[in-house]
């Protein structure tokens, strides 16, 4: 009989909260002694904020629900590239960062056009990309 093992670890960062990770063995094994480091992969990372962190953040940010249906029809792009850059820079003056979806809504362009615009701004040195995958944000240089 083969078994799949998973392991969980917890860590507290004082004042911030708790992180937990789950590690899983990538192939079935008969017992725990057969598990090797190269066959263990990270499965999930979860975060539970502390009460102090929740109170600190509650007074500093406003949350807003975004409509998932950004544009029912193909959007009409807002002005030329310079106008879109100015709108983005105005947004970045008021906010720390911008996501591709926020930029897309801000200047009324499709997700593909937004990605191309943002890459152009990165290449010209106007903004920097931070993060990876679904966690990418863009910040002023």
Query: pTM for this one?
Result: 0.48
Structural domains of the chain, with CATH? 6-58 (no CATH), 81-140 (1.10.10.10)
Q: Return the structure tokens found at 55.
A: 């109170």
Helical residues (DSSP H) of 1-141, grouped into ranges: 51-58, 81-94, 100-107, 111-123
Residue 66 CA to residue 69 CA, distance in Å, equals 9
Q: Compute how many other C-beta atoms are within 10 angstroms of the C-beta atom of residue 25.
A: 19
Structural tokens at position 80: 């030329």
Phi/psi of residue 81, each to 5°? -60, -40
> In this structure, what are the phi and psi dihedrals at residue 101, rounded to the nearest 5 degrees?
-65, -40
Q: What is the structure's pLDDT at 68?
A: 59
Q: pLDDT tens digit string along 18-56?
A: 888 887 777 777 776 776 777 777 778 888 888 888 888
Do the beta carbons of residue 16 and residue 49 sit within 8 Å?
yes
The string of pLDDT tens digits covering residues 44-96 is 888 888 888 888 888 787 777 766 565 555 556 677 899 999 999 999 999 99
């Amino acid at each position: 009989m083969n078994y799949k093992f998973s392991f969980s670890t917890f860590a507290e960062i004082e004042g911030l909260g708790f992180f937990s990770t789950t590690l899983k063995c990538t192939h079935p094994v008969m017992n725990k002694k057969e598990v090797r480091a190269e066959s263990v992969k990270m499965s999930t990372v979860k975060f539970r904020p502390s009460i102090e962190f929740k109170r600190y953040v509650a007074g500093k940010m406003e949350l807003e629900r975004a409509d998932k249906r950004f544009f029912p029809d193909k959007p009409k792009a807002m002005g030329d590239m310079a106008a879109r850059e100015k709108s983005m820079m105005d947004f970045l003056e008021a906010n720390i960062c911008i996501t591709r979806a926020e930029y897309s809504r801000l200047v009324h362009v499709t997700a593909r056009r937004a990605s191309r615009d943002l890459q152009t701004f990165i290449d010209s040195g106007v903004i920097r990309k931070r993060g990876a995958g679904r966690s990418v944000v863009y910040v002023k240089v």
